[in-house]
Amino acid sequence: MEGASRIVRVVRVKKDFTMGRSVVRVLKGIDLSILAGEYISIMGPSGSGKSTLFNMIGGLDKPSSGAVFIDEVDIAQLDAYELAWLRCRKIGYIFQTFNIIQVMTALENVTLPMVFAGVSPMDATKKGMELLDLVGLKERFSHKPSELSGGQQQRVAVARALANDPAIILADEPTGNLDLTTGGEIIDLLKRLSLEKRVTVISATHDFKMLNVSDRVVWIEDGRIDKIENRDELSISMGKIGDL
Amino acid sequence: MISWNGKKERRHLRSGRQVTLPFLKSVEIAVKSIRARFFRSFITLLSLVLAISFYSYVSVNTILSQGMRLSQDFPAVEQPVQEGDGGVDPANDPKQRWILFLSLLVCVVGIVNTQLMAVTERFREIGTMKCLGALDRFILRLFLIEATIQGVIGAAAGALLGTLVSLVWSVLRFGSHLLMVISWSDIALSLAWAMGLGCLLSVIGVLYPALVAARMQPVEAMRGRE
Protein backbone atom coordinates (compact mmCIF):
# COMPACT_ATOMS: atom_id res chain seq x y z
CA MET A 1 0.00 0.00 0.00
CA GLU A 2 3.04 2.28 0.20
CA GLY A 3 3.09 5.06 -2.33
CA ALA A 4 -0.66 4.93 -2.83
CA SER A 5 -2.39 8.29 -2.92
CA ARG A 6 -4.42 9.58 -0.02
CA ILE A 7 -8.02 9.47 -1.10
CA VAL A 8 -9.54 10.75 2.13
CA ARG A 9 -7.92 13.20 4.49
CA VAL A 10 -9.61 14.28 7.69
CA VAL A 11 -7.89 17.28 9.26
CA ARG A 12 -8.59 18.40 12.84
CA VAL A 13 -12.28 17.79 12.44
CA LYS A 14 -14.51 18.87 15.27
CA LYS A 15 -18.25 18.63 15.38
CA ASP A 16 -20.63 20.11 17.90
CA PHE A 17 -24.32 19.52 18.07
CA THR A 18 -26.55 21.98 19.86
CA MET A 19 -29.17 20.17 21.91
CA GLY A 20 -31.42 22.84 23.29
CA ARG A 21 -29.11 25.07 25.32
CA SER A 22 -26.28 22.61 25.81
CA VAL A 23 -23.62 21.98 23.22
CA VAL A 24 -22.55 18.40 22.75
CA ARG A 25 -19.02 17.93 21.46
CA VAL A 26 -19.29 14.80 19.39
CA LEU A 27 -15.94 14.95 17.61
CA LYS A 28 -13.07 16.55 19.46
CA GLY A 29 -10.42 16.81 16.79
CA ILE A 30 -9.91 13.89 14.42
CA ASP A 31 -6.95 13.48 12.07
CA LEU A 32 -7.03 10.59 9.68
CA SER A 33 -5.63 9.73 6.28
CA ILE A 34 -6.99 6.92 4.18
CA LEU A 35 -5.07 5.56 1.22
CA ALA A 36 -6.63 4.57 -2.08
CA GLY A 37 -7.51 0.89 -2.14
CA GLU A 38 -7.45 0.47 1.62
CA TYR A 39 -10.04 -1.48 3.59
CA ILE A 40 -10.71 0.51 6.72
CA SER A 41 -12.99 -0.25 9.61
CA ILE A 42 -14.11 2.40 12.03
CA MET A 43 -14.92 0.77 15.34
CA GLY A 44 -16.31 2.25 18.49
CA PRO A 45 -19.17 2.03 20.93
CA SER A 46 -22.40 3.79 20.02
CA GLY A 47 -22.26 7.44 20.97
CA SER A 48 -18.52 7.57 20.34
CA GLY A 49 -18.93 9.81 17.31
CA LYS A 50 -18.31 6.96 14.91
CA SER A 51 -21.38 7.63 12.77
CA THR A 52 -20.76 11.37 12.81
CA LEU A 53 -17.22 10.91 11.52
CA PHE A 54 -18.55 8.50 8.97
CA ASN A 55 -21.15 11.00 7.71
CA MET A 56 -18.44 13.66 7.43
CA ILE A 57 -16.33 11.43 5.22
CA GLY A 58 -19.37 10.73 3.09
CA GLY A 59 -20.08 14.41 2.59
CA LEU A 60 -23.42 13.97 4.32
CA ASP A 61 -22.57 16.37 7.12
CA LYS A 62 -20.21 19.29 7.50
CA PRO A 63 -17.67 19.68 10.31
CA SER A 64 -17.96 22.56 12.80
CA SER A 65 -14.24 23.15 12.32
CA GLY A 66 -11.48 21.41 10.44
CA ALA A 67 -11.85 19.96 6.97
CA VAL A 68 -12.49 16.75 5.10
CA PHE A 69 -10.67 16.32 1.82
CA ILE A 70 -11.72 13.75 -0.75
CA ASP A 71 -9.16 13.49 -3.53
CA GLU A 72 -7.62 16.65 -2.06
CA VAL A 73 -10.87 18.59 -2.51
CA ASP A 74 -12.33 20.20 0.60
CA ILE A 75 -15.91 18.99 0.52
CA ALA A 76 -17.15 21.88 2.65
CA GLN A 77 -16.37 24.13 -0.35
CA LEU A 78 -18.59 22.21 -2.75
CA ASP A 79 -22.00 23.51 -3.76
CA ALA A 80 -25.13 21.36 -3.87
CA TYR A 81 -24.56 20.31 -7.47
CA GLU A 82 -20.95 19.30 -6.90
CA LEU A 83 -21.91 17.42 -3.77
CA ALA A 84 -24.54 15.50 -5.70
CA TRP A 85 -21.93 14.75 -8.32
CA LEU A 86 -19.54 13.53 -5.63
CA ARG A 87 -22.19 11.24 -4.16
CA CYS A 88 -23.10 10.01 -7.58
CA ARG A 89 -19.65 9.29 -9.00
CA LYS A 90 -17.07 9.16 -6.24
CA ILE A 91 -18.81 7.48 -3.36
CA GLY A 92 -20.96 4.39 -3.13
CA TYR A 93 -23.09 4.10 -0.01
CA ILE A 94 -24.14 0.93 1.73
CA PHE A 95 -26.55 1.25 4.63
CA GLN A 96 -27.40 -0.85 7.63
CA THR A 97 -31.03 -0.90 6.57
CA PHE A 98 -30.16 -1.71 2.93
CA ASN A 99 -32.26 1.25 1.69
CA ILE A 100 -33.20 -0.45 -1.52
CA ILE A 101 -35.90 1.63 -3.16
CA GLN A 102 -39.01 -0.44 -2.59
CA VAL A 103 -40.92 0.44 -5.72
CA MET A 104 -38.10 -0.61 -8.06
CA THR A 105 -36.73 -3.98 -9.09
CA ALA A 106 -33.21 -5.09 -8.23
CA LEU A 107 -31.95 -4.09 -11.67
CA GLU A 108 -33.67 -0.68 -11.55
CA ASN A 109 -32.11 -0.04 -8.15
CA VAL A 110 -28.66 -0.83 -9.51
CA THR A 111 -29.12 1.30 -12.62
CA LEU A 112 -30.55 4.35 -10.83
CA PRO A 113 -27.14 5.91 -10.00
CA MET A 114 -26.18 5.38 -13.64
CA VAL A 115 -29.33 7.18 -14.75
CA PHE A 116 -28.32 10.13 -12.57
CA ALA A 117 -24.85 9.96 -14.09
CA GLY A 118 -26.30 10.27 -17.58
CA VAL A 119 -25.40 6.76 -18.76
CA SER A 120 -27.57 5.61 -21.66
CA PRO A 121 -30.31 3.13 -20.65
CA MET A 122 -28.77 0.32 -22.69
CA ASP A 123 -25.31 0.70 -21.21
CA ALA A 124 -26.81 1.06 -17.75
CA THR A 125 -28.81 -2.16 -18.12
CA LYS A 126 -25.77 -4.02 -19.39
CA LYS A 127 -23.58 -2.82 -16.56
CA GLY A 128 -26.35 -3.39 -14.05
CA MET A 129 -26.63 -7.03 -15.10
CA GLU A 130 -22.85 -7.43 -14.84
CA LEU A 131 -22.89 -6.01 -11.34
CA LEU A 132 -25.79 -8.22 -10.29
CA ASP A 133 -23.85 -11.15 -11.69
CA LEU A 134 -20.85 -10.05 -9.66
CA VAL A 135 -22.85 -10.18 -6.44
CA GLY A 136 -24.52 -13.44 -7.46
CA LEU A 137 -28.03 -12.17 -8.12
CA LYS A 138 -28.20 -12.28 -11.89
CA GLU A 139 -31.29 -14.50 -11.92
CA ARG A 140 -33.19 -12.24 -9.57
CA PHE A 141 -32.80 -8.98 -11.48
CA SER A 142 -36.54 -8.49 -11.93
CA HIS A 143 -37.42 -9.10 -8.29
CA LYS A 144 -38.74 -6.37 -6.04
CA PRO A 145 -36.97 -5.83 -2.70
CA SER A 146 -39.92 -7.37 -0.86
CA GLU A 147 -39.20 -10.62 -2.69
CA LEU A 148 -35.56 -10.67 -1.62
CA SER A 149 -34.02 -11.73 1.68
CA GLY A 150 -32.02 -9.30 3.79
CA GLY A 151 -28.72 -10.66 2.54
CA GLN A 152 -29.89 -10.46 -1.07
CA GLN A 153 -31.09 -6.90 -0.56
CA GLN A 154 -27.70 -5.96 0.83
CA ARG A 155 -26.08 -7.57 -2.20
CA VAL A 156 -28.24 -5.40 -4.44
CA ALA A 157 -27.09 -2.44 -2.37
CA VAL A 158 -23.47 -3.46 -2.90
CA ALA A 159 -24.05 -3.71 -6.64
CA ARG A 160 -25.77 -0.33 -6.59
CA ALA A 161 -22.88 1.22 -4.68
CA LEU A 162 -20.54 0.06 -7.42
CA ALA A 163 -22.68 1.36 -10.27
CA ASN A 164 -20.59 4.39 -11.23
CA ASP A 165 -17.21 2.84 -10.37
CA PRO A 166 -16.76 4.93 -7.24
CA ALA A 167 -13.37 5.42 -5.65
CA ILE A 168 -14.80 4.95 -2.18
CA ILE A 169 -17.41 2.65 -0.75
CA LEU A 170 -18.89 3.83 2.52
CA ALA A 171 -20.61 1.08 4.44
CA ASP A 172 -22.51 2.00 7.59
CA GLU A 173 -22.90 -1.15 9.68
CA PRO A 174 -23.44 -3.22 6.53
CA THR A 175 -23.91 -6.39 8.54
CA GLY A 176 -25.93 -4.81 11.34
CA ASN A 177 -29.26 -6.21 10.19
CA LEU A 178 -28.00 -9.56 8.92
CA ASP A 179 -27.41 -12.88 10.61
CA LEU A 180 -23.89 -14.21 11.11
CA THR A 181 -23.60 -16.21 7.90
CA THR A 182 -25.08 -13.65 5.51
CA GLY A 183 -23.16 -10.92 7.29
CA GLY A 184 -19.99 -12.91 6.69
CA GLU A 185 -20.89 -13.29 3.03
CA ILE A 186 -21.34 -9.55 2.64
CA ILE A 187 -17.98 -8.93 4.32
CA ASP A 188 -16.28 -11.42 2.00
CA LEU A 189 -17.96 -9.77 -0.97
CA LEU A 190 -16.78 -6.32 0.08
CA LYS A 191 -13.25 -7.60 0.62
CA ARG A 192 -13.21 -9.30 -2.76
CA LEU A 193 -14.44 -6.15 -4.48
CA SER A 194 -11.88 -3.98 -2.72
CA LEU A 195 -9.14 -6.30 -3.98
CA GLU A 196 -10.51 -6.80 -7.51
CA LYS A 197 -11.69 -3.28 -8.22
CA ARG A 198 -9.18 -1.44 -6.02
CA VAL A 199 -12.01 0.38 -4.30
CA THR A 200 -11.38 2.00 -0.97
CA VAL A 201 -13.81 0.50 1.52
CA ILE A 202 -14.61 2.43 4.67
CA SER A 203 -17.04 0.83 7.03
CA ALA A 204 -18.37 1.77 10.42
CA THR A 205 -19.08 -1.39 12.29
CA HIS A 206 -19.58 -3.29 15.52
CA ASP A 207 -18.90 -6.56 13.76
CA PHE A 208 -15.65 -8.22 14.79
CA LYS A 209 -15.74 -10.39 11.66
CA MET A 210 -14.99 -7.19 9.79
CA LEU A 211 -11.65 -6.86 11.55
CA ASN A 212 -10.22 -9.97 9.94
CA VAL A 213 -10.42 -8.43 6.49
CA SER A 214 -9.56 -4.83 7.36
CA ASP A 215 -6.17 -3.39 6.45
CA ARG A 216 -6.50 -0.93 9.28
CA VAL A 217 -8.91 -0.45 12.13
CA VAL A 218 -9.64 2.98 13.55
CA TRP A 219 -10.93 2.84 17.11
CA ILE A 220 -13.00 5.84 18.09
CA GLU A 221 -13.58 6.61 21.73
CA ASP A 222 -15.41 9.65 23.05
CA GLY A 223 -14.92 11.77 19.93
CA ARG A 224 -11.23 11.04 19.56
CA ILE A 225 -9.19 8.43 17.80
CA ASP A 226 -8.20 5.98 20.47
CA LYS A 227 -5.81 3.98 18.34
CA ILE A 228 -5.24 2.92 14.74
CA GLU A 229 -4.15 -0.64 14.29
CA ASN A 230 -2.77 -2.38 11.25
CA ARG A 231 -3.91 -5.89 10.53
CA ASP A 232 -0.75 -7.58 11.82
CA GLU A 233 -1.09 -5.85 15.18
CA LEU A 234 -4.72 -6.70 15.22
CA SER A 235 -4.49 -10.42 15.83
CA ILE A 236 -3.12 -9.68 19.29
CA SER A 237 -6.02 -7.55 20.36
CA MET A 238 -8.42 -9.94 18.61
CA GLY A 239 -7.17 -12.55 21.03
CA LYS A 240 -8.16 -10.24 23.83
CA ILE A 241 -11.56 -9.71 22.32
CA GLY A 242 -11.98 -13.44 22.08
CA ASP A 243 -11.22 -13.77 25.78
CA LEU A 244 -13.78 -11.20 26.78
CA MET B 1 -4.84 20.16 -33.17
CA ILE B 2 -4.00 20.74 -29.56
CA SER B 3 -6.85 23.14 -29.08
CA TRP B 4 -9.21 20.68 -30.71
CA ASN B 5 -8.09 18.02 -28.33
CA GLY B 6 -8.45 20.43 -25.48
CA LYS B 7 -11.97 21.25 -26.51
CA LYS B 8 -12.84 17.62 -26.85
CA GLU B 9 -11.43 16.93 -23.45
CA ARG B 10 -13.34 19.81 -21.93
CA ARG B 11 -16.52 18.59 -23.49
CA HIS B 12 -15.83 15.15 -22.17
CA LEU B 13 -15.18 16.61 -18.77
CA ARG B 14 -18.38 18.55 -18.82
CA SER B 15 -20.48 15.58 -19.86
CA GLY B 16 -18.65 13.59 -17.22
CA ARG B 17 -19.68 16.07 -14.56
CA GLN B 18 -23.36 16.08 -15.26
CA VAL B 19 -26.00 14.86 -12.88
CA THR B 20 -29.27 14.25 -14.71
CA LEU B 21 -32.64 12.64 -14.55
CA PRO B 22 -34.30 12.40 -17.97
CA PHE B 23 -37.93 13.49 -17.99
CA LEU B 24 -39.26 10.16 -19.25
CA LYS B 25 -37.38 8.35 -16.52
CA SER B 26 -38.92 10.59 -13.88
CA VAL B 27 -42.38 9.90 -15.28
CA GLU B 28 -41.57 6.18 -15.12
CA ILE B 29 -40.48 6.43 -11.49
CA ALA B 30 -43.53 8.54 -10.62
CA VAL B 31 -45.92 6.03 -12.19
CA LYS B 32 -44.22 3.21 -10.28
CA SER B 33 -44.54 5.09 -7.03
CA ILE B 34 -48.22 5.70 -7.59
CA ARG B 35 -48.86 2.06 -8.44
CA ALA B 36 -46.83 0.82 -5.51
CA ARG B 37 -48.73 3.06 -3.12
CA PHE B 38 -52.10 2.56 -4.68
CA PHE B 39 -54.07 2.86 -1.46
CA ARG B 40 -52.42 6.12 -0.44
CA SER B 41 -52.85 7.53 -3.93
CA PHE B 42 -56.47 6.44 -3.77
CA ILE B 43 -57.06 8.39 -0.56
CA THR B 44 -55.38 11.45 -2.02
CA LEU B 45 -57.53 11.06 -5.11
CA LEU B 46 -60.75 10.59 -3.22
CA SER B 47 -60.90 14.09 -1.76
CA LEU B 48 -60.01 15.47 -5.18
CA VAL B 49 -62.69 13.39 -6.90
CA LEU B 50 -65.35 14.55 -4.45
CA ALA B 51 -64.43 18.23 -4.64
CA ILE B 52 -64.18 18.25 -8.42
CA SER B 53 -67.39 16.30 -8.86
CA PHE B 54 -69.14 18.85 -6.67
CA TYR B 55 -67.68 21.63 -8.79
CA SER B 56 -68.77 19.86 -11.96
CA TYR B 57 -72.22 19.20 -10.55
CA VAL B 58 -72.74 22.85 -9.78
CA SER B 59 -71.44 24.12 -13.11
CA VAL B 60 -73.41 21.58 -15.17
CA ASN B 61 -76.53 22.45 -13.19
CA THR B 62 -75.97 26.05 -14.17
CA ILE B 63 -75.67 25.09 -17.83
CA LEU B 64 -78.83 22.98 -17.60
CA SER B 65 -80.92 25.67 -15.98
CA GLN B 66 -79.68 28.20 -18.51
CA GLY B 67 -80.56 25.81 -21.33
CA MET B 68 -84.03 25.31 -19.95
CA ARG B 69 -84.62 28.98 -19.40
CA LEU B 70 -83.60 29.83 -22.95
CA SER B 71 -85.67 27.05 -24.44
CA GLN B 72 -89.41 27.62 -25.01
CA ASP B 73 -90.24 23.99 -24.37
CA PHE B 74 -90.11 24.16 -20.61
CA PRO B 75 -92.87 26.56 -19.51
CA ALA B 76 -93.98 24.12 -16.85
CA VAL B 77 -90.49 23.77 -15.60
CA GLU B 78 -90.08 27.47 -15.01
CA GLN B 79 -91.75 27.25 -11.67
CA PRO B 80 -89.59 24.59 -9.97
CA VAL B 81 -86.49 26.01 -11.54
CA GLN B 82 -87.29 29.43 -10.14
CA GLU B 83 -87.85 28.28 -6.59
CA GLY B 84 -85.62 25.21 -6.52
CA ASP B 85 -81.92 24.99 -5.78
CA GLY B 86 -81.18 25.44 -9.46
CA GLY B 87 -83.43 28.45 -9.64
CA VAL B 88 -80.92 31.21 -9.30
CA ASP B 89 -77.82 30.78 -11.43
CA PRO B 90 -75.94 28.56 -8.97
CA ALA B 91 -72.52 29.86 -9.91
CA ASN B 92 -73.62 33.36 -9.00
CA ASP B 93 -75.37 32.44 -5.80
CA PRO B 94 -73.04 33.65 -3.02
CA LYS B 95 -74.01 30.80 -0.70
CA GLN B 96 -73.35 28.22 -3.40
CA ARG B 97 -70.07 29.91 -4.24
CA TRP B 98 -69.02 29.89 -0.62
CA ILE B 99 -69.76 26.19 -0.30
CA LEU B 100 -67.88 25.52 -3.52
CA PHE B 101 -64.90 27.49 -2.32
CA LEU B 102 -64.95 25.66 1.01
CA SER B 103 -65.08 22.26 -0.65
CA LEU B 104 -62.09 23.09 -2.85
CA LEU B 105 -60.22 24.45 0.15
CA VAL B 106 -60.92 21.33 2.18
CA CYS B 107 -59.74 19.30 -0.79
CA VAL B 108 -56.41 21.16 -1.00
CA VAL B 109 -55.89 20.87 2.74
CA GLY B 110 -56.62 17.16 2.48
CA ILE B 111 -54.10 16.74 -0.32
CA VAL B 112 -51.43 18.69 1.59
CA ASN B 113 -52.07 16.48 4.59
CA THR B 114 -51.89 13.14 2.80
CA GLN B 115 -48.90 14.23 0.73
CA LEU B 116 -47.04 15.38 3.85
CA MET B 117 -47.65 11.94 5.32
CA ALA B 118 -46.48 10.34 2.10
CA VAL B 119 -43.29 12.41 2.21
CA THR B 120 -42.61 11.39 5.81
CA GLU B 121 -43.17 7.79 4.86
CA ARG B 122 -40.73 8.13 2.01
CA PHE B 123 -37.97 9.97 3.87
CA ARG B 124 -35.70 6.97 3.59
CA GLU B 125 -36.31 6.56 -0.12
CA ILE B 126 -35.71 10.26 -0.76
CA GLY B 127 -32.55 10.26 1.36
CA THR B 128 -31.27 7.20 -0.47
CA MET B 129 -31.87 8.83 -3.83
CA LYS B 130 -29.95 11.85 -2.63
CA CYS B 131 -27.08 9.64 -1.52
CA LEU B 132 -27.07 8.18 -5.02
CA GLY B 133 -26.63 11.67 -6.43
CA ALA B 134 -30.14 13.04 -6.90
CA LEU B 135 -30.43 16.83 -6.87
CA ASP B 136 -33.17 18.66 -4.98
CA ARG B 137 -34.95 19.41 -8.21
CA PHE B 138 -35.17 15.72 -9.18
CA ILE B 139 -37.11 15.02 -6.01
CA LEU B 140 -39.30 18.08 -6.56
CA ARG B 141 -39.96 17.01 -10.13
CA LEU B 142 -40.86 13.46 -9.11
CA PHE B 143 -43.46 14.70 -6.65
CA LEU B 144 -44.88 17.26 -9.10
CA ILE B 145 -45.23 14.63 -11.83
CA GLU B 146 -46.89 12.25 -9.40
CA ALA B 147 -49.30 14.98 -8.33
CA THR B 148 -50.08 15.90 -11.93
CA ILE B 149 -50.86 12.30 -12.83
CA GLN B 150 -53.00 11.94 -9.75
CA GLY B 151 -54.64 15.27 -10.57
CA VAL B 152 -55.52 14.20 -14.11
CA ILE B 153 -57.00 10.89 -12.96
CA GLY B 154 -58.83 12.32 -9.96
CA ALA B 155 -60.15 15.33 -11.81
CA ALA B 156 -61.32 13.26 -14.77
CA ALA B 157 -63.17 10.88 -12.47
CA GLY B 158 -64.61 13.76 -10.46
CA ALA B 159 -65.67 15.80 -13.48
CA LEU B 160 -67.38 12.80 -15.10
CA LEU B 161 -69.07 11.83 -11.87
CA GLY B 162 -70.35 15.34 -11.19
CA THR B 163 -71.59 15.86 -14.74
CA LEU B 164 -73.25 12.47 -14.84
CA VAL B 165 -75.01 12.92 -11.51
CA SER B 166 -76.23 16.36 -12.53
CA LEU B 167 -77.48 15.12 -15.91
CA VAL B 168 -79.17 12.01 -14.55
CA TRP B 169 -80.78 13.95 -11.74
CA SER B 170 -82.13 16.60 -14.11
CA VAL B 171 -83.38 14.04 -16.62
CA LEU B 172 -85.21 12.22 -13.84
CA ARG B 173 -86.73 15.49 -12.71
CA PHE B 174 -87.58 17.14 -16.00
CA GLY B 175 -87.60 14.31 -18.55
CA SER B 176 -85.19 13.28 -21.28
CA HIS B 177 -86.44 16.09 -23.50
CA LEU B 178 -84.02 18.23 -21.55
CA LEU B 179 -81.09 16.66 -23.28
CA MET B 180 -82.19 18.23 -26.57
CA VAL B 181 -82.02 21.82 -25.41
CA ILE B 182 -78.84 22.04 -23.46
CA SER B 183 -75.56 23.21 -24.88
CA TRP B 184 -73.26 20.21 -25.05
CA SER B 185 -70.28 22.32 -25.95
CA ASP B 186 -70.76 24.22 -22.69
CA ILE B 187 -70.77 20.92 -20.84
CA ALA B 188 -67.58 19.84 -22.58
CA LEU B 189 -66.06 23.16 -21.64
CA SER B 190 -67.11 22.74 -18.04
CA LEU B 191 -65.51 19.25 -18.04
CA ALA B 192 -62.28 20.75 -19.31
CA TRP B 193 -62.41 23.49 -16.69
CA ALA B 194 -63.02 20.96 -13.94
CA MET B 195 -60.10 18.85 -15.08
CA GLY B 196 -57.78 21.81 -15.25
CA LEU B 197 -58.88 22.93 -11.81
CA GLY B 198 -58.33 19.42 -10.45
CA CYS B 199 -54.77 19.26 -11.75
CA LEU B 200 -54.09 22.70 -10.39
CA LEU B 201 -55.42 21.79 -6.94
CA SER B 202 -53.40 18.58 -6.92
CA VAL B 203 -50.19 20.40 -7.80
CA ILE B 204 -50.88 23.22 -5.32
CA GLY B 205 -51.48 20.61 -2.65
CA VAL B 206 -48.20 18.84 -3.28
CA LEU B 207 -46.00 21.96 -3.54
CA TYR B 208 -45.23 22.35 0.13
CA PRO B 209 -44.75 18.62 0.85
CA ALA B 210 -42.52 18.31 -2.22
CA LEU B 211 -40.40 21.24 -1.06
CA VAL B 212 -40.03 19.59 2.34
CA ALA B 213 -38.94 16.40 0.60
CA ALA B 214 -36.53 18.09 -1.77
CA ARG B 215 -34.78 20.01 1.01
CA MET B 216 -34.28 16.88 3.08
CA GLN B 217 -30.69 16.11 3.97
CA PRO B 218 -29.36 12.79 2.69
CA VAL B 219 -28.05 11.99 6.16
CA GLU B 220 -31.66 11.12 7.04
CA ALA B 221 -31.25 8.01 4.97
CA MET B 222 -28.37 6.93 7.15
CA ARG B 223 -30.22 7.77 10.31
CA GLY B 224 -33.30 5.82 9.32
CA ARG B 225 -33.89 2.80 11.47
CA GLU B 226 -36.56 0.26 10.83
pLDDT digits (tens, 9 = 90+) for A4-13: 688 999 999 9
| Mutation for B interface: A54, A73, A81, A88, most B CBs within 10 A | A88
Smallest CA–CA distance, residue A88 to chain B, in Å, is 4
Shortest CA gap B222–chain A (Å): 6
Find chain A residues with C-beta within 8 A of B126's C-beta: none
Phi, psi angle pair for A4, to nearest 5°? -70, 150
CA distance linking residue B154 with residue B145, whole number of Å: 14
Banded model confidence at residue B14, pLDDT cuts 50, 70, 90: very low
Within 8 A of B146 by CB-CB distance, chain A residues are: none
Mean pLDDT over each residue of chain B, to the nearest integer: 81
Residue of B130 and B90 predicted with greater confidence: B130
Interior angle at CA A190, CA A71 and CA A196, nearest 5:
70
Report the residue from B36, B124, B134 with minimal CB separation from A84.
B134
The distance of A188 to chain B (nearest Cα, Å) reads 23
DSSP state of A5: P
Q: Give the Cα separation of A216 and A218 in Å (integer).
A: 7
Q: What is the pLDDT of residue A141?
A: 92
Enumerate the residues of chain A whose CB falls inside 8 A of the CB of residue B138: 116
- pLDDT bucket at B7, cuts 50 / 70 / 90: very low
Note the pLDDT tens digit of each residue in A21-30. 888 888 999 9
Report CB contact under 8 Å: B124, A51: no
What is the per-residue pLDDT across B28-61, written as a single tens digit (0 to 9) for each? 889 988 888 888 888 888 889 999 999 999 999 8
CB atoms within 10 A of CB B46: 16
- Residues of A in Cβ contact (< 8 Å) with B125: 99, 101-103
Give the closest-approach CA distance of B40 to chain A in angstroms: 14
Least confident range of A54-68, A179-193, B67-81: B67-81
Residue B82 pLDDT exceeds 70: no
Q: Once rounded to an integer, what is the mean pLDDT over residues B61-75?
A: 78
At A120-141, the pLDDT tens digits run: 999 999 999 999 999 999 999 9
pLDDT of B164 reads 93
Confidence class for position B72, pLDDT limits 50, 70, 90: low
Smallest CA–CA distance from B33 into chain A, residue:
A103
pLDDT at A75 over 80: yes
More confident residue, B6 or B52: B52
Nearest CB partner across the interface for A116, out of B21, B125, B222: B21
Question: CA geometry: angle at B152 spanning B146 and B155, to 5°?
Answer: 125
pLDDT bin (cut points 50, 70, 90) of residue B147 is: very high
What DSSP letter does each residue of B18-69 carry, written as one string? -----HHHHHHHHHHHHHHTHHHHHHHHHHHHHHHHHHHHHHHHHHHHHHHH
Cβ distance of A51 and B222 shorter than 8 Å:
yes
Buried b (16+ CB within 10 A) or exposed e, B91-113: eebeebeeebeebbeebbebbbe
Considering only residues A212 and A104, tell me which one the structure prediction assigns the higher pLDDT. Answer: A104
Nearest to B124 by CA among B110, B139, B105, B112: B139
Task: Mark yes or no for CB contact A87/B32 under 8 Å.
Answer: no
Give the model's pLDDT for residue B3. Answer: 41
pLDDT digits (tens, 9 = 90+) for B167-214: 999 889 888 888 888 888 899 999 999 999 999 999 999 999 999 999
Out of B22, B133, B225, closest to residue A88 by CB: B133
Average pLDDT over chain A, rounded to whole?
A: 88
pLDDT of residue B73: 64
Torsion of CA A222, A223, A224, A225, to 10 degrees: 90
pLDDT in the model for residue A160: 95
Query: What are the structural domain ranges in chain A?
Result: 38-59+78-243
- Looking at the domain A38-59+78-243, which fold is it? Rossmann fold (3.40.50)
